Homo-oligomer: A and B are copies of this chain.
Amino acid sequence: MKSENISLPEDSEISSDKRPYVSQAVIKRLPRYFRYLRELIAEGTMRISSGELSARMHVTASQIRQDLNCFGGFGQQGYGYNVHYLYAKICEILGVSAGFKAVIIGAGNLGRALAGHTMFAKRGVDVIAMFDVNEQLIGSYIGDIPVLSMDELENYCRTHPVDIAVFTMPKEAATQVAEQLTSTPVKGIWNFTAKELDLREQGKVVESVHMGDSLMTLCYELCRMQETIRDDAEEEIK
């Protein structure tokens, strides 16, 4: 696919100045801009106006101007945004160019789905190892990623430059694995288990993917849709 080949910005393309201050609300929206900008780059688009971007993203043009102007007004009136520059800037702010390295804990279906996903490479994250307790998996490779024994996890994270541990093992093991990582230099946990983890006191950042929450949001929307249909039908009978 064309968009897989978009290179991440080189260090030289990014100013070495301190990153600008961007509010949390804008930060939350930047990954979405990142995705749309990659699409534009894949299509060969060099410049885009806030109006065009607005139509694509279903966000108001004024919201876009507000979001993007807060880290340097690189949109020019009547001329639009430079897509490549904007992409590089967002990559810089979000840490896409930071060269983080990750390990995946759990080589089951979810771990393997993540290991084979282009998402990491697109965001500049390198998955260097996986860990599991299953003797039959230990020693094998998922793509070019080796599956190692959980017994080696602590030592591996001390002797390799691991920034992120991805938790895909069963929920019941989450607390224990988090403890194993306490004294290692691993600073980020990407948590797919339903276990709530608070590791601020250990100096670690946890970002959780609560897939179940998303499923519930969908169920709620479906209920609402059914109610609207029912209400409309009742209105008609009256």
The secondary-structure label for the interface of chain A is helix
Contact check, B109 vs A216: say whether CB atoms are below 8 A apart. Answer: no
Give A153-181 interface residues, CB cut-off 8 Å to B.
163-164, 171-172
Q: How far is the CA of A223 from the CA of B90 in the complex (A)?
A: 13
Q: How far is the CB of A93 from chain B (nearest CB, A)?
A: 7
**So how many copies of this chain end up in the complex?**
2
Please encode chain A, from 189 to 220, with 1 for each CB lying within 8 Å of some chain B CB and 0 for all others. Answer: 01000101010000101011111111111111
Contact check, A218 vs B190: say whether CB atoms are below 8 A apart. Answer: yes
Q: Taking A123-B212, A215-B119 as contacts, is the C-beta distance between A164 and B28 under 8 angstroms? A: no
Tell me the A residues contacting B by CB distance below 8 Å: 1, 18-19, 27-28, 30-32, 34-36, 58, 93-96, 98, 100, 108-110, 112-114, 116-117, 119-120, 122-125, 163-164, 171-172, 187-188, 190, 194, 196, 198, 203, 205, 207-223, 225-227
